[in-house]
Amino acid sequence: MRYQHFTLWDLAGHEFPIAAKTPDDASFYWRHRFSDQFRKPLAPDHAEFFASNFGPTVGPGLVAAIEARAVEAERAKELAFEAVRSAHYPTLPSRQQSIFLVPEGVGAPREYMIGMGYSPSELSNRTLVEIELPEHAVVHEGHLAHLNCNSRPHLWEGRAHHYWSGRPAHPGELGEGLREVLYVGEFRVLRAGE
């Protein structure tokens, strides 16, 4: 099985193929989301939006408080999803330990990742690599629409079951059609570049 992955790995001077194994801090969504680095200040375009649309009504302090709550909600949701996986789907790779792969058949991986919520600047310092998984690798393909519930804790358990069972999103739901592939284990990096 071959997939693509956007990575922060420094591959300069390496000869391909490269044998690798998860975990690798540079490829973990989980470690990034739970690091203090994720608590970054409001992006300039968001700050400008709030200033021009709300002026003094919503000051920088309130915006920062809202952002802090959003980060905590996402973290709590991720823990809930992991609890459901561990209890009901223990053979599937954990979001906490996985490398996130571009689904097979995606013809424009950079545009696909932007559609998933990555900014062009986030992808600009990453390298697209082609990787090969072992013949009997266990992967999980989850639909991103099920993750769109950070502010609704009462939905977390049901959405987690939908995500881990591979259930497709409802037509018209935000994120419909966007999937992510999770994998934990050994793999080979075959080549780098688009």
How confident is the model at residue 165, as a pLDDT?
A: 97
| pLDDT of 140 | 96
State mean pLDDT over 13-31.
74
Inform me whether the pLDDT recorded for 136 exceeds 90: yes
Contacts of 194 (CB under 8 A, 6+ apart): 109, 110, 128
Q: Write down the mean pLDDT value for the chain.
A: 82
Give the residue, 42 or 181, on which the prediction is more confident.
181
130-147 average pLDDT score: 94
| d(C-alpha 31, C-alpha 150), whole Å | 18
Domain of residue 95, residue span: 2-192
- % of the chain with per-residue pLDDT over 70: 77
Confidence of residue 42 (pLDDT cuts 50, 70, 90): very low
Q: Span 122-132, mean pLDDT?
A: 90
Overall domain count for the chain? 1
The residues with which 128 forms a beta bridge, in sequence order, are 6
Unique residue bearing structure tokens 């992808």:
123
Residue of higher predicted confidence among 184 and 56: 184
Residue 44 has pLDDT above 60, yes or no: no
Taking residues 87-114, report their average pLDDT: 90
Asked if the model's pLDDT at residue 72 lies above 90, the reply is no
- Please tell me the pTM assigned to this model: 0.80
Contact between 77 and 63 under an 8 Å Cβ cutoff? The reply is: no
Residue 27 has pLDDT above 50, yes or no: no
How confident is the model over 149-161, as a mean pLDDT?
Answer: 92
Query: What DSSP assignment string belongs to the chain?
Result: -EEEEEE----TTPPSSEEEES--GGG-HHHHHTSGGGSPPPPHHHHHHHHHHHGGGS-HHHHHHHHHHHHHHHHHHHHHHHHHHHHH-TTSPPTTTPEEEBPTT-S-HHHHHHHTT--HHHHHT-EEEEEE--TT--EEEEEGGGG--TT-GGGHHHHHHHHHHTPPPPTT-TTTT-EEEEE-SEEEEEEE--
